[in-house]
Amino acid sequence: HRRFTLPAGETTVTNEGGTVFVRSGEAVLFQRLRTEVSELRFVGGDGNEILAVGDLGLHNGQAIDITFDGQAGTDTFRLLDSAQTLDLTSLPSDGIVNVEIFDVVGSGQNELILDAATVRLLAPDSKRLLVRVKSGDEVSFGQDWMVDAPAFIGGETVHQQHQGDTILQVVSDRPWQNPFNGLDVNRDGTVSPIDVLIGINVLNEGNAGQLNAPMSAAELPIYYLDVNGDQFISPIDVLIGINFLNTAAGSSEGEAPEPPMSSALSPPSGDLTPLDFSLLAALPASSADENTLLRPTSGCRRTSSRELLTATTALWSAIEAREEAVHHSLASEWRFGDAGRELSEADNLRAEANEFDEALATEDDWLF
């Protein structure tokens, strides 16, 4: 095997026409037929080194065994191509160590698999890892993370989650989308009706439209409103949440099972199932901040099923008014006609909601 001490800056490893090249800038450090290469060892120095690796292909079903010890400084492992999968959980303990940044953007559609134990192995001193992704990439983070508020660092929105003293940060090109779970609008770690109601409240206040990238800490998102990652807040974001709750829950419980801690960072595909707004009425008691999301006319922190119906009716009106704009912006990614057919059932849903309201007429108001 070959061992390289990386110079400062970026070193690339590529397969070009069956020949493996290792380059630093324009300088070729290594060149050999792919069939003759089975292992490559890289060691960093005191600076900030970047090791960028392309799709090197297989020989006799085997990939090239690459190790990278970044040592001191802030070091980066970067993918160069597309459709690459990097499973950090399957690497040996000395495979990639002392690396603080993983950049999986490449040329798109890459996949990264990691968990908290992996972060501690990769960065044993800081126990902190930064991952860079773009829409279309898929990342699996493992379980038992707690999602924190985003931070504004170095002119970028940095999404954060922690597990004990282990910190995982993510920078993506969708600052208003939760990279850990796009459906978790309020980043409490679960997907529940409150995530849908946050979107409804924003739409009812007339705030639909483009979500601009934050330019300062003051502009960071309080809620992750961009469920589908199109950089707009629109009725489709609410519909995705409703569709998930109706499909995944399928019960009278107010909370759906948690999806895994992973994100595809791209709009979902497929047909929308018939909408059922009755699930929104099964909200559990919640915190004072969440109680203010729907604004009852009485001024107290209680809301009735009638007020819920008013909110959903306003949502339908917003959907109808913005259908043309939403269709234009999502035509290449969504079969919007399916959503339109579902929305044509609004009258039936209103009738169902009215019956539900009458059934609750003798009960106390619901507390959200």
Per-residue pLDDT tens for 167-199?
999 999 999 999 999 999 999 999 999 999 999
Position with higher pLDDT, 250 vs 288: 250
Average the pLDDT over 36-57 and give the result: 95
- Cβ density class 59-72: b for 16+ within 10 Å, e for less: eeeeebebbbbbbe
| β-bridge pairing 146-153 and 156-163 | antiparallel
List the single range of 5-14, 245-254, 269-278 with lowest mean pLDDT: 269-278
| Closest by CA position to 352, among listed 277, 244, 299, 240 | 277
Percent of the chain with pLDDT over 70: 67
Domain boundaries, given as residue ranges, for the chain? 2-171, 193-359
Position with higher pLDDT, 171 vs 280: 171
Question: How deeply is 52 buried, as exposed, middle or buried, from its count of CB atoms within 10 A (0-12, 13-18, 19+)?
Answer: middle
pLDDT of amino acid 205: 87
Average the pLDDT over 325-337 and give the result: 41
